[in-house]
Structure 1
Amino acid sequence: MSAAPDPGTVKRALSAHAAIGLLAGALLYLVSLTGTLAVFYAEFQRVEQQGVPEMTAIAPEAVARGVAAMVATEAGKPKTTHLYVHMPVEDLPRATITTDNQAFHLRADGSLAQKEEIAWSDFLLQLHYLLNLPALFGILLVGALGVAMLALAVSGVVAHPRIFRDAFRLRARDANALADWHNRLSVWTLPFSVAIALTGAIIGTATLTGYAIASADHGGDLEKVYAPIYGAEAKPDPAPAPLPDVAAALRHMAAHHPDVVVSYAILHDPGTKGQHIQIVGEHQRRLIFGEYYGFDAAGQFQHRAGLADGAVGQQAAASLYRLHFGTFGGLPVKIAYFVFGAALTAICATGTFLWLGKRRRRGFDEPRLLAAWRGVVWGWPIALAASFVARIAIGNDAPLVPIFWGGAVLVVVAAVALARWRPLPRLLQGGLVAAIGADAVAAIV
């Protein structure tokens, strides 16, 4: 007696399997899209919040005055454990102080200006890093997507032995045009795709490794895991003390390291006896995000972490983020990363279209899945653009996560409902053009 399932059950199971694959492809597409945009994270901040005091440099004494003014506004709030002073740099010439509770821009004289309001820029970055999921789960999922992207890049080359020989062969007007564009873009961007996927996978999986080591060897203390790479925190002492002399630390950097671009001054446990200062300095023509220079509360130099000249592993770990986001080499590198990132996003989109077409040729005609994918490819950028318009219209407290994900789900559901409506692709494409235009108007106004 046969126990084989009926053909209808098998077909539904295969459709469910395909839908799961489509979801994975959608997340990979979203990570590629948001990563491409996040290359201009600093520039988005300047567009999102205009009218902020900008400067090429700020005096050490002005920074100290800003710190004192910021700490004075913290009265009655939870005690801040870290105070960050973002120093003016080339792509973001603003001085900003951030505590555990709030953030304010500074004027050149060190007085507090307006509150920092960059909710959309931060939302974009968190969407790329975490997909708006809880931190550990989100970064692990994004890391896994990086592994998947790396596997797809390598397997794509192996599966197409003529891929390099046909690198510039395009059949632009026949049924193979989409496949040709997919394959050509994959070849042209292969080094970039591998670098982005590999660094993304390392960043994500390193988090899991860090938590595992902390749990096994350090009683769950993650700081002890990262201390050999980034340096250890001083032993806390909560007894009150005057604020640390951050001006002295900045003067030391100017006098002894004039070629180092100071990007951050970090005050650990400010206003306590356990406080100390870290200066983050960017080294020119290096991939590292910066070197940590440690100072005591009096602003006396203590040590360097070794990210610039320490162990090879330290230097490699400090280079992952700039290599992943293209924040080295100035605007030309950012433009190149944007172009290659857009190509990678197109590869993700066309790859799934090709997969669905192959399934259709094998007898699995699934118009709803095709419509859902069109909803993702064209509709999710629309939802992202709509979230920016909402941020400008409503303000920094706009509910960006519900707006984006609600819009993303809505457009996919609507696309599936209109799966057999012929004008659907043109409607979605026109909607994206209109949404980008609305973003441009919102940015200008």
Structure 2
Amino acid sequence: MSAASRLKSFRKLILHAHELLELQFGFRLWDGSTVPEGLPADAFAISLADENLVAALLRSPNPETLLNLWVSKRIDLVNGDMFDLLARRPKVRTREIRRKLSKFLVFNSLRKFVFLDRGGPWPLEAQPSEKPSDGSADENRKNIQYHYDVSNAFYALFLDKEMVYTCGYCTDWNNDIDQMQLDKLEMICRKLRLKPGETMLDIGSGWGALVLHAAANYGVEATGVSLSEEQVRYARAKAEALGLSERVRFELVDYAKVDGQFDKISSIGMHEHIGIDNYPTYYSTIARLLKPEGLYLHHAITRPAKMDAKAFRRKNRDFALLTKYIFPGGELDHIGNTLMMLEQHGFEVHDVEDWREHYQRTCRHWHDRLLANYDAAVAEVGEVKTRLWLVYLGGCSVVFERNSARIYQSVVSKTRRGPSGLPPTRRELYT
């Protein structure tokens, strides 16, 4: 079977699909031709770099194959991004698409690619298998450094000016990422009701933004802990530059190894790295570190609960890819279990707030900023990593928009008899 014959047959199939489904985008094939013919140079299109990718998808028609083809740029988007593709996707279900397409045309075209080599490269195949964290300090460090020690300069290309890598907070849905993250830092400090002279611990402190904001604006003595060498080095240098080194410290240490007691504790986007089997250790550690009258703010992404625990622990393929290539060792809780675990470990839950729509916007900002700085990102970390992060950030925005994942902030204190010490309303959080 000649390459020309395969190309002709494939073009016929793609044109059939394009006309039948009334697709609002075109295709650019490996020989430079387009479907439909004469597609304008500035039109949004899917680019297919070689015929071997068709064979690869036939042999392994799954998200992992597609992800490898995407990061290696064998499949690409021209004159647009993934959000443009989603906006133009067919308005019919996959089952309906299969029913409408000509079975003969599909078979006759694709059979010609079956014996082709799948081509290459396959840059993600060297990655280890996805598995939950065993909770050890060594594995925690390895997993955290895999994600967060990519490059400070890389993260600076899409994060806000304070380098906050967790969900922002919208006081207005149209706020930019700098305002969202400033408002988030302020809201956390208000929810913790920080006071001058108090001690504060931020578990998973990132590049130090919350610790530094709390010390500078609320007069607390703050400690941040992280397992990312790059983040700790950056945070220490920033504290020195801001003249806050006497009131803050950043430690490269596993959360379970922290000593002392604190008036206030925050954990912002760190719980996702713990692993479900290690939750008892985590909550016991918070209980040990928090003073009797202290407050703990728990901020974490969740998945919707299932009918039973076994069904919940079963990951779909997309989430398995996320934990394999982006967040190794990561797992998500559901909010019901989070609240139950908090109560089981001696906490009273005072407030729970859903920030799902805030995170959808945060991830969209990050995606768009990284895409705008694409060339600089490629120069810093390479094209594979850049494209991997683009699909991760954009995909997360879509997941939160579709309500397939959520994110909650919960404020708790240690259970005790008598008054909680909290004011009767939340008025002061918003004034």
For the criterion TM > 0.5, the same-fold answer is no
Bigger strand share? 2
What's the TM-score, normalizing by structure 2?
0.24
Bigger helix share? 1
What's the TM-score, normalizing by structure 1?
0.23
